[in-house]
Amino acid sequence: MQKQQLKQLLEALLFVAEAPLSVAQLCDYLLEHGRDVSRKQVRETIDELQQDYQERGVQLQRVASGYRFQTRAELGGIIAGLWQEKPPRYSQALLETLALIAYRQPITRGDIEEIRGVSVSSQIMKTLQERGWVKVVGHREVPGRPQLYATTNEFLDYFNLTDLAELPAIPEPPTKATNAETAPKESENAQ
């Protein structure tokens, strides 16, 4: 297969795919359709496509599940008006629960409740699982064998991440000043 043909075919496959495609998936698909190409050829061609789209309104992005075309983040606010459907709004409780799972996985519901100081609604856990962002990855070996939750590749894909290491660092909480530090010094008051 000629290099230009492979480039066009990969571009078309990634453009119409409903979900990100990995290099292995692309190679398997091409092989099923009589096109024998190596993973190295596919990777090199994807790199070229990424360069081609670097300065355009859409970009070829690598996420946890593979590669996908997406609009540039900085254009999101402008093009969002094209859709009548509003994006879902998530509660603070749901987002806090998701953040705890992402940063502390695998984690039990009891652990989440202990950290947040309130019980976790069954609806929140159901919503996270229905979205495909969270899954049960096992059970803790304690009485009652509570489920352990972790994030999925769909979570990484949705938030445009390839790995959990790309999550932003959690800032340290500000230290509270003591009265001695905040009280004006006597020499300042005497003047």
pLDDT (tens, 9 = 90+) of the chain, 191 residues, equals: 688 999 999 999 999 999 999 999 999 999 998 888 999 999 999 999 999 999 999 999 999 999 999 988 888 878 877 776 676 788 999 999 999 999 999 999 999 999 999 999 999 999 999 999 999 999 999 898 999 999 999 999 998 898 999 898 888 777 765 554 554 544 444 44
Q: Give DSSP secondary structure letters for 18-71.
A: SS-B-HHHHHHHHHHTT----HHHHHHHHHHHHHHTTTSSEEEEEETTEEEEEE
Q: What is the CATH number of domain 92-166?
A: 1.10.10.10
Question: What per-residue confidence (pLDDT) applies to 129?
Answer: 95
The yes-or-no answer to whether 3-78 and 92-166 have a common fold is: yes
Domain ranges, ordered by start, for the chain: 3-78, 92-166
Q: Which residues of 138-154 are buried (b: 16+ CB within 10 A; e: fewer)?
A: eeeeeeeeebbbbbbbb
- Yes or no: say if 95 and 113 are a contact pair by the CB < 8 Å rule: no
**Terminal CA-CA length for the chain:** 86
pTM above 0.75, yes or no: no
When the candidates are 1.10.10.10, 3.40.190.10, 1.10.1200.10, 3.40.50.980, the CATH number that belongs to 3-78 is 1.10.10.10
Question: What per-residue confidence (pLDDT) applies to 48?
Answer: 94
> For the chain, what is the largest distance between any 2 Cα atoms, rounded to a whole number of angstroms?
90
